[in-house]
Structure 1
């Protein structure tokens, strides 16, 4: 390219004014509403027209000017071996993003891609700046995997206002967990072993209370089976005293009192409570809920089947609860993401997944992602 052409190109370059910068920075392109699913044969003129409009709308979104402040973005470098992005320069608040390792801040692949889409992160790889399109292939991979579903759920919940963090599996040693094990934990573990044929966890067996609780359990069980009680050592030692004085006669006959009681309207305590305004309001709200009771597996053939294992992917926190990564509280929900075309878990499988939370048992939010990338979420409360 000669000098004349270079001067001509430079002279044609235009700079935006302050007003144009403000307008272009907050420009939004509306996407057309999605209509009903088409059932006609492919290749029809109506389908070609719809695809043409969709491509034009997509081209309009991509060609829109994006004015952002480059200094307002953090800088991170993607490590392929660690599958994490090392933050080289922070900008803004990173309270709910990333994890620390050897004094450095790292971002998970879904966190880095989410911040990249929000234009809060500049991702670099091999000393090159990665675009959003390249980041999808680099961070999620070209082959089909669960990473895309995890990111789709993470992005949707984060945009909805939740604080989404990676679920911390309880992998503490027996010495550290034995200190928080109480007698109630030992009793429930023994009940699960006796009634549900489930083994006692190792951290409960290592507790000093487990042996004493098991011995007391055997004593109580033997007393119940032999119909012996330890509360009454000697029945003869009890001194029953009965009142020997005569009672006064009633002022009016018994038949008249019965007649008076019949004349009065009888209204129980339950009926009184049902007449309260709070009960009526609760009844109106309760009728709107879609409650489905899960059935237990009574059939022996169903009980003998191997239960599927569902892992907990994320923990959800609310913004108004004062979330702190250094000292996190119990999450509001625990998220379980089902693979595509995977049937919903049964009662026993949900109970098994719920018991993975040894430190805090919170409701499970089971999310299913369809082939069309639509999300369906169901909340399960287990008591």
Structure 2
């Protein structure tokens, strides 16, 4: 006889779920376990009874520590999926505040690799890869890569600064405010484009003077090109020289020459240079000369470009919590973070001053040693 499955039978199959009391929740939530001290560190294997007993105690201590029941709130985690091609984590479900993490693109929220790994370590994120939950150990290999790279040092710095209370975001280059464009700026930009084949900047093209100056220069060029130089007729005249054969008499009183050349050429008392400065042509030349960009060359290595091989690159921007940080419209950062490559010396004054020409925030230069110790120095040049 075939037995029918009813709703009451299903209830009997499903095991009853045991619920914990509030006291038990608190007890399992805050578990404190004191690890067993193994004494002095052994430097070599002795294969003795004491050593085997010590290893057995260490294994029992680890087993007891891992077997302690723990509870956690699953609803307190956000859900993200790792996108291997883009090397970012796409947030599927948010839980809690995410105003300081990630960036939006086409209505979706993405996390950088260091942000996803940090949230995973602090228990705020559940990361999935091909519909499989990724553990913290697996996330290190998946997000940082199997080969040695700068990602691990960057994550160590990001994690340390985030745990210290800073808002750490990816560095965003700030656009400096462009000064008001004049007609002279348009002229020089057009001349550089014609002579040096340099593109005209966009802020100059947007100027109302640009179209007028460009048309005026084209008109002047057409006038110069269309001019025809007519050769003036050469007049041939007979040259009739008459030389006086008589000797001239010397003057009775020879003229008195000044004692110095300065007194001879500068009767007013001024130097020759001062007299030239008073002329109108010098004033026009001085006004024109001030418009040239003059670069002083220092040393014999002026042909090398330091920006090509220079490892000093700003990686992160630091903001303070009490400054009202907004990801949509961030203010100027409190510090700019530079992470030095391994085995690289700290920068000198010239390198720091070159970077501070384009950034107003103080520089926090961080070095990560081979033992993963972090050293940071704050550079501020007033």
Offset of residue 25 of structure 1: 1.6
Equivalent residue for 1:23, pick from 5, 23, 27 = 27
Q: Which residue of 2 aligns with 1:294?
A: none
Whether the aligned pair in 2 keeps the contact of 1:181 and 1:207 (CA below 8 Å) is: no
Alpha-carbon distance between aligned partners in 1 of 2:202 and 2:274, rounded to the nearest angstrom: 29
Alpha-carbon distance between aligned partners in 2 of 1:73 and 1:315, rounded to the nearest angstrom: 26
Equivalent residue for 2:344, pick from 342, 345, 360 = 342
Distance 1:115 1:42, change over 3 A: same
SS in 1 for 2:314: coil
TM-score normalised by length of structure 2: 0.57
Offset of residue 347 of structure 1: 1.8
Offset of residue 150 of structure 1: 0.6
Offset of residue 309 of structure 1: 3.8
Across the aligned residues of Structure 1 and Structure 2, the Cα RMSD in angstroms comes to 4.5
Distance 1:371 1:14, change over 3 A: farther
Q: Which residue of 1 aligns with 2:299?
A: 300
Structure 2 residue ranges without an equivalent (≥5): 1-14, 182-199, 211-272, 279-296
Alignment deviations for residues 133-159 of structure 1 (CA, whole Å, 9 cap, x no partner): 111110011111100111100000000
Alpha-carbon distance between aligned partners in 1 of 2:274 and 2:65, rounded to the nearest angstrom: 75
Equivalent residue for 1:332, pick from 323, 331, 334 = 334
Runs of 4+ in 1 over 4 A off after TM superposition: 13-16, 28-33, 51-65, 201-209, 223-228, 301-306
Whether the aligned pair in 1 keeps the contact of 2:311 and 2:340 (CA below 8 Å) is: no
Alpha-carbon distance between aligned partners in 1 of 2:79 and 2:275, rounded to the nearest angstrom: 70
Alignment deviations for residues 105-142 of structure 1 (CA, whole Å, 9 cap, x no partner): 00000000111111111101101111111111100111
Whether the aligned pair in 2 keeps the contact of 1:85 and 1:108 (CA below 8 Å) is: yes
Alignment pair present for 1:182 and 2:162: no
Offset of residue 66 of structure 1: 3.7
The structure number with the bigger radius of gyration is 2
Whether the aligned pair in 2 keeps the contact of 1:309 and 1:353 (CA below 8 Å) is: no
Distance 1:88 1:44, change over 3 A: same
Alignment pair present for 1:76 and 2:73: no
Distance 1:71 1:305, change over 3 A: same
Alpha-carbon distance between aligned partners in 2 of 1:54 and 1:354, rounded to the nearest angstrom: 54
The structure with the greater share of residues assigned to helix is 1
Alpha-carbon distance between aligned partners in 2 of 1:76 and 1:161, rounded to the nearest angstrom: 24
Q: Which residue of 2 aligns with 1:378?
A: 377
Alpha-carbon distance between aligned partners in 2 of 1:92 and 1:364, rounded to the nearest angstrom: 32
Structure 1 residue ranges without an equivalent (≥5): 1-9, 185-200, 212-222, 229-297
Offset of residue 165 of structure 1: 0.4
Q: Which residue of 2 aligns with 1:365?
A: 364
Distance 1:344 1:69, change over 3 A: same
SS in 2 for 1:366: strand
Alpha-carbon distance between aligned partners in 2 of 1:31 and 1:326, rounded to the nearest angstrom: 46
Q: Which residue of 2 aligns with 1:97?
A: 101
